[in-house]
Every structure is written in C-alpha cells, then in structure tokens.
Amino acid sequence: MDAPIKLGVITSGGDSQGMNAALRAVVRTALDRGLEVYAIYEGYLGMVEGGKYIRKFAWDSVGGILQQGGTVIGTARSQEFRTRQGRLRAAKNLVEVGIDKLVIIGGDGSLSGADVFRQEWAGLLQELATQGEIDPAILDSHPELSIVGLPGSIDNDIAGSDMTIGADTALHRITEAIDAINSTAVSHRRTFVVEVMGRNCGYLALMSAIATGADWVLIPENPPDVDNWEESMVKYLKAGREAGRRDTFVVVAEGAKDRNGKPITSEYVRHVLQDRFGEETRVTTLGHVQRGGAPSAFDRNLGTQLGFAAVETVLSSESKDKPQLIGMRGNRITHTPLSECLEKTQKISEAIITHDYTQAMHLRGESFSTSFSTFRTMLRALPHPVGPGQERLRLAIMNSGAPSPGMNTAVRVATRFGLDMGHVMLGIKNGFEGFIRGEIEEMHWMSVHGWASRGGAELGTNRKVPNESDYYKIARNIEEHQIQGLLIIGGWAGYLSAFQMLNERSHFPAFNIPMICLPAAIDNNLPGSELSIGADTALNNIVNAVDKIKESAVAQHRVFIVEVMGRQCGYLAFMGGLATGAEQVYLNEDGISLQKLQIDLQKLITGVNQGKRLGLMIRNELAHPVYTTDFMRALFEVEGGDLFDVRQAILGHQQQGGTPSPFDRILATRLATKCIDFLIDKGLIHSTESAFVGLHGKDLVFHPLEDFLRLSDEAHQRPKDQWWLSLWPILNTLAQPGPKVES
C-alpha cells in the first residue's frame, strides 16, 4: 500500500472568526479522503520551531470548535519565517514529518509568505541535503510543495474572494456596537466618531456605515474629494440636524487618509466636530471587539465550504501547476491563481499610496463603488432639488408576506433613493389589506429616519393575497393616488399577488404599471434569487439558539432534535445544520423515511460509542407530516436506550425577530436601489414591464414577472432550482461519526 499523503494545515496572521470552521473542514475532508493531516500550531512560528508545534490530527481533534472564535491551533507573527534561514528550518521540519502539501488560512501577508516558501522549496531542500541535514532521497520524494490558500482576515482585503473568512463576523460586532451607541446618542443628541479596523481596506467602515445609517464615512480608497473636506462634512452634518436628526455618527476606517495621503485619525475628526460642529463629541475605537465573539453563520459556512474545496484542490493537479486561492463569488467557490490574487491585492495598496483613488475604487470592484455612491445618497439631509421640468413619477412601496428582517432597511433605501431622483414616494401600509383599504401615505426623507437597523416591518405586512373582489378596490386606489410604479418587498404572498395582478390587466387597466418584487422572506423560498433578505438574520438566530442549546447539555450523552422554520423550503434547516455541525438535517425536499431514521440512529449510536457526547439533528418544520419532531424524539429516545437521552427544541418565532444582520441590511440596500432604478426607467417610458429581482452569483438580475410560476415549484412554494442543495456532499462528509477511510 502507498504511504498516505501528508497534509499540513496552518492558520496564520491576524486571527479571524470562521478559521476554526475552515480547519475542521480541511481536517475532516482530508481524513475522509485517506490523507494524514497535521495541524501546525502558532502559524509560521510553529513551522519554524517544529516538534510539538506540528501535531497529527484525528477526526475528533476538531470536534466542537465550529462555534469557537479565533483559531484553536493558534496564530502568531513570525519574523524568522521572513528570513531564508527561518524558512530553511521550516522546510526541514515539514519534510521530517513527510509533509509536502499545505493549506494556509490567513491574510495576504501569510499567503505571500507561503508563495515565497513554495518557490524556494527545491532550493531549500537542496541546501538542507548539502548540509547533511536531510537524506538526499527526500529531494526525489518531495520535489515540490503544493499549497492552497484560504483568505482568512477580518479586513476583507484579499482579491479573489468577495468575502474573507471573518469579515462578516467583524461586521456583526461593529453593527451591534454602533446600534448600541446609537440608542444612547439619540437620547442625548450626541455626536459620535467610531473607528473601525480594516488596515488599507475600507470595506468594514463602508458596509457598517451603510448598515447602521451613519452620517459620514472616511475610507482609505476614496478620501473626501475636496481639500477643505472638514467644512463640507460639517455642512452636511449641520443640515442633517436641521432636518431633524437627533444624533450624528461618523465612521472612520483605521487607514483613512485625505487626498494628499495624510492620515485622518478619529481623534482629528473629533476635534473638527467639537470645534466646528459645536457639539461635544465622543470617540469609540472598537479595537479587538471586532475580532471577538462567536463566528457568524455566514463565516462558519464560508470557512466550511472553502476548507472542503481546499482539500479537493490540493489533491488535484491544479494546485501543482499553479498554487490556488480558493474564494467565493456570489455563492460559488472559485479557484484563482494565488499570484494573481496577491498581485491585485498589492496593486490596491499601491494605488492608495500613490493617491490613485480612481484605480483603488476600480480594483475594489463595482459593488464596492456602487455601495459608496448609495451611501452618499443615504446620508443626505434632504434629497437633491427636483430639476426644472423634470417628470415626477408617483411610486409606491409596500411589504407583503410574513415580516422579514431587512424589510425596513429596504423601504428606507427605496424611499430616499426615489426622492433623491426627484420622484414622489408613497407608502402602502399593512400589505395588500392596506392596499385594498386605501392606506396610502406620502413618504418623506425623514419618514424613514432610523429604519436602517430596525427589525420588524414599520409599514406593516401580512400574508393577504387579494382575490377577485379585491382587485377593483386596488385598481381604484392606484387610480386615486395616481400610482405609476409599484415596489413589493416581500415573500411568496407578494410575488403571487403581483403575478395575479399582471394576469388581471385586461380586466383592470390600472394594473398596467411597472411592478417589481424584491425578495424578502426568512425562508429563502423565492424564485430568481439565491438569497432573500431576512434569511441571513434567521440563520444567525438559529445558530445562536443552537449554540446555547448545545451548551445546556449537562447529561453525559444527549441528542437534540431542533425544529426550525422554512415552511416547505429547507434552506434554514440545511444551512443551520452546516453552521452548527449537525449530524443530520431533515428537509421537506427529501422527506423522511423509516429507513433513513434507522440509519441515522445507527450513526448516533456509533458516534456515542466512539466518545461523542452530543448529537444534533435539525429538522425543517414541514419535513414530513407523520414523522414529526415529537415522533423522532420518541423513536430516538426508545431506541437509544441507556446510551443517550433525547430532547427536542422548537425554535419558533424568535427566528423571525431581532434586528437585521449586516448582510441582510447590505443586500436590502443593493436590491432596493436596483428596484427603484427599474421603476423609474420603466415609468418614464410608460412601459408596463414588470419583474422580480434577485441575487445571482455576484450580480443582481431581473426576471420577467411572467416567469414567476415557471421558475417555481408552486405546490411547495419554493424555487425549482435551489443552489444550496449542491452542498450535500460537504454536509455528509463532515457530519459522519468518523472518516470513511481510516488514516
């Protein structure tokens, strides 16, 4: 039998949330594929030191770490690894164990170091052989070092991935902190400057400013474009106060600079505000809070998916020819040559240093630039004045379906965006019930003040789908209020209602207006969009609840069956299971059979016999009409005998509540501006084209409203195409009680 392939895995540089998920996925996937896996503790420091820092890992070595922050194998900064001498020692330590494949989870510094190491590998081994430090035969058995990089950094500053592992959690910490400060600031009419991390990257600052409805942001890539930016900032903030804002927030990225490259510190901003804005100003530097706490659901699943893909890549010829960085674009795993990613990352830093801000913004990508300009619209005290002779459309916004966190953010952005473009914005209250009753009011700039971070649905919402007798009243209200375009922010009920209105146009000419649906449903069950707003918040609510449930386990061996929402769509159950390390997930899509339950029961018994303390099964609320959560609990309880006891938890409405997650706020912002653009475009040319918008990969795409049912599995009220079902192999691999192939 061939000697097993030996893989090293290392976390390096600044720690970030989700590194543990990546480590777990790398270790278990590698073991499953028959590899031997070695964790290298304390980053490159451990690689240089060798010995106890390089430890063989087993399946259980990475048990129970998904929910832990930071990295359980430690990280450090190593000056020695920056020297050839240090790398010589590292190479010796690796080949002594037999490792010539590495997965590196870290920032651009760590990945650059790995690339240097790889290029020098043959030379280093030659030198070691010449010095008599290693057996010359090793030169033939380990001719090259294969490396695969995973972007691990809170800063989101690595080209080749939309998101780095840890950035989403950092955004959670920042928005939580700003939301909290916000409530005291509003009470006291205070001014705050909040400094956030990010080194040369303004991602955390810009996105947290958008997510919290801050009043000003200073980022390295796009300094204020006037020399006396202080004046212009103060003027804006004063206008905001005059328009009725009770508090003022300025977010400063730690790397912020002015156009001439002079750093803008939060302390300097405080002075400016105190002196010229004339108000006592406080600075909050968030610091290491941003690295703390449990990883978000997104970071756990990102780390897991990238870790799984890393092992597959290490085993393919791809990584031999050219080292790869595994990243994520939209919801898709991408492989990009590492050198290309490092070069582009470097270029952005250089553009900032040489004050080429157009280039810096361009390299950050289109969605970053669009977000920046959206933010500039949102922070205005009042909309731009209406141009002379400009046609003003009357556009209405409503919610429909169950409440979904992020609905308020979307209404706020849509309202302000429409007003800023010179149009009249109307709010329809209480979904289609309110539409039928004519509960329609004009919305103003300050009507939506403070809505960016608010949970629930301020405009009101419900699941009412109009029937034939209602159409007449809706048509009359459209005519009475001269509505020329309709934005429906909602779930299945909203989409279905819009679709029916489309089909009733021949009977009700008033329905001949452009209509657009924006996906907002925690269930993530809408066609045409890989994600709907609210789903990320609900997923985080589930993950937080399951973390607590797991911690509550005092019994020696316990199995939990957790029931989650989603109606007939398994997204929340599946992704919740992936993020919490569930042994099994039960979906309506697959159903439940007695045979499956028996197999799962056997797996639980094997797991417990191998020393597992906790078992976790996640079940979608409508997974099966007969094999209910209670049935499963009773079955497992009886069959588990003395081996383990079983508890059930039905999470209920807490999944729908709470403030929207940063991801949901950002997605709501992107979608809402796109929808208003659509209504204006169509309205101005008197087109009646109607659509539903969605996230596809990295892009926002429109689908003709006519296609609603064609793209849906109507009987189950979910899309025909559900991208996340392709993640089954990952869940199946990681959820086993042990590797298929013993190492």
Binding mask 438-477 for ligand ADP (x = CB under 6 A): ----------------------------------------
Out of 6, 9, 13, 429, the residue judged to bind ligand ADP by CB under 6 A:
13
Rounded to 5 degrees, φ, ψ at 540 are -65, -35
Does position 110 bind ligand ADP by CB under 6 A?
Answer: yes
Out of 4, 50, 109, 337, the residue judged to bind ligand ADP by CB under 6 A:
109
Q: Applying CB under 6 A, what is the total number of residues that bind ligand ADP?
A: 17
User: What is the distance between the alpha carbons of residues 108 and 113, in angstroms, rounded to a whole number?
Assistant: 8
Does position 106 bind ligand ADP by CB under 6 A?
Answer: yes
Out of 5, 9, 10, 12, the residue judged to bind ligand ADP by CB under 6 A:
12
Out of 116, 226, 643, 725, the residue judged to bind ligand ADP by CB under 6 A:
116
Q: Which stretch binds ligand ADP (CB under 6 A): 12-20, 231-239, 561-569, 593-601?
A: 12-20
In angstroms, what CA-CA distances link 53 with 42, 44, 98, 409, 742?
7, 10, 15, 48, 24
Q: Which stretch binds ligand ADP (CB under 6 A): 34-42, 111-119, 184-192, 259-267?
A: 111-119
Out of 68, 112, 274, 688, the residue judged to bind ligand ADP by CB under 6 A:
112
Question: Are 562 and 651 in contact, with CB atoms under 8 Å apart?
Answer: yes
Single-letter amino acid, residue 709: L
User: What is the distance between the alpha carbons of residues 587 and 705, in angstroms, rounded to a whole number?
Assistant: 28
Name the residue nearer to ligand ADP (CB basis): 114 or 134.
Answer: 114
Does position 15 bind ligand ADP by CB under 6 A?
Answer: no
| Beta strands 645-650; 691-696: pairing state | unpaired
In angstroms, what CA-CA distances link 6 with 58, 304, 311?
13, 20, 11
Out of 5, 6, 9, 14, the residue judged to bind ligand ADP by CB under 6 A:
14
Question: Are 466 and 498 in contact, with CB atoms under 8 Å apart?
Answer: no
- Asked about 155 being catalytic, the answer comes back as yes
CA nearest neighbour of 616 among 559, 576, 668:
559
Which class for 317: exposed (0-12), middle (13-18), buried (19 or more C-beta within 10 A)?
Answer: exposed
Question: Are 667 and 489 in contact, with CB atoms under 8 Å apart?
Answer: no
Q: Which stretch binds ligand ADP (CB under 6 A): 6-14, 34-42, 638-646, 720-728?
A: 6-14
Binding mask 30-49 for ligand ADP (x = CB under 6 A): --------------x-----
Does position 153 bind ligand ADP by CB under 6 A?
Answer: yes
Residue, CB closest to ligand ADP: 109
Binding residues for ligand ADP restricted to 53-82, rule: CB under 6 A: 77-78, 81-82
Strand partners, 645: 558
Q: Minimum CB separation from ligand ADP for residue 106, in Å?
A: 4
Q: Catalytic pick from 155, 157, 536, 664?
A: 155
CA angle 134, 137, 139 (to 5 degrees): 80
N-term to C-term CA, the chain: 12
Instruction: Strands of 152-258 (E only): list them.
Output: 191-196, 216-218, 248-253
Name the residue nearer to ligand ADP (CB basis): 82 or 259.
Answer: 82
User: What is the distance between the alpha carbons of residues 63 and 417, in angstroms, rounded to a whole number?
Assistant: 47
Rounded to 5 degrees, φ, ψ at 730 are -70, -50
Q: Minimum CB separation from ligand ADP for residue 104, in Å?
A: 9
Which class for 539: exposed (0-12), middle (13-18), buried (19 or more C-beta within 10 A)?
Answer: buried
Query: 326 is written with which tokens?
Result: 């595994």
Q: Minimum CB separation from ligand ADP for residue 612, in Å?
A: 34
Q: Minimum CB separation from ligand ADP for residue 55, in Å?
A: 20
Does position 113 bind ligand ADP by CB under 6 A?
Answer: yes
User: What is the distance between the alpha carbons of residues 597 and 300, in angstroms, rounded to a whole number?
Assistant: 27
Q: Which stretch binds ligand ADP (CB under 6 A): 7-15, 387-395, 439-447, 656-664?
A: 7-15
Q: Give the helix/strand (H/E) hosting 472.
A: helix 468-480
Q: Minimum CB separation from ligand ADP for residue 40, in Å?
A: 12
Q: Which stretch binds ligand ADP (CB under 6 A): 9-17, 231-239, 585-593, 648-656?
A: 9-17
Name the residue nearer to ligand ADP (CB basis): 20 or 110.
Answer: 110
User: What is the distance between the alpha carbons of residues 65 and 709, in angstroms, rounded to a whole number?
Assistant: 42
Question: Are 190 and 280 in contact, with CB atoms under 8 Å apart?
Answer: yes
Q: Minimum CB separation from ligand ADP for residue 5, in Å?
A: 25
Q: Minimum CB separation from ligand ADP for residue 153, in Å?
A: 5
Q: Which residues are catalytic?
A: 155
Please report, as ranges, the residues that interact with ligand ADP according to CB under 6 A: 12-14, 44, 77-78, 81-82, 106-110, 112-113, 116, 153
